[in-house]
Amino acid sequence: MAVGLSHFLMVSGLLFVLGIISMISRRNMIGVLLGIELIMNAAGLNFIAFSRYIAQDLSGHIFTLFILIIAASEAVVALAIVLRIYQNRATISVEAVGEMKC
């Protein structure tokens, strides 16, 4: 049995759902960031699958490269923010950060 577009879309959908569940159910910011990364990887997998099976060119690969660059920069900035919050509050809980003062 050959691997087709539907198989890639099912894996991508599973990654997306796991990312949403991780974002909703986690109480610390690291878990939420991991959920965002899963969602971005699901989008990149969709781009590559459609590029391979529909468009027959490299446009999906280029978009996925941009997604990976954005995900890496987002992770660096978000982790820096999380570290700063941990230094100030001694917790990385999402609820504790919701009460920040100006």
The arithmetic mean of pLDDT across residues 36-46, rounded, is 94
Q: Contact at 8 Å (CB) between 71 and 37? A: yes
Full-model pTM: 0.83
Confidence (pLDDT) at 82: 86
The arithmetic mean of pLDDT across residues 13-38, rounded, is 92
Q: Residue 57 burial by CB count (10 A; 0-12/13-18/19+): exposed, middle or buried?
A: exposed
For the stretch 55-83, pLDDT in tens is 888 888 899 999 999 999 998 998 898 88
Query: What CATH number is given for 7-97 in this structure?
Result: 1.10.287.3510
Reply yes or no on whether the pLDDT at 101 is more than 80: no
Residues in the chain: 102
Query: What residue spans define the domains of the chain?
Result: 7-97
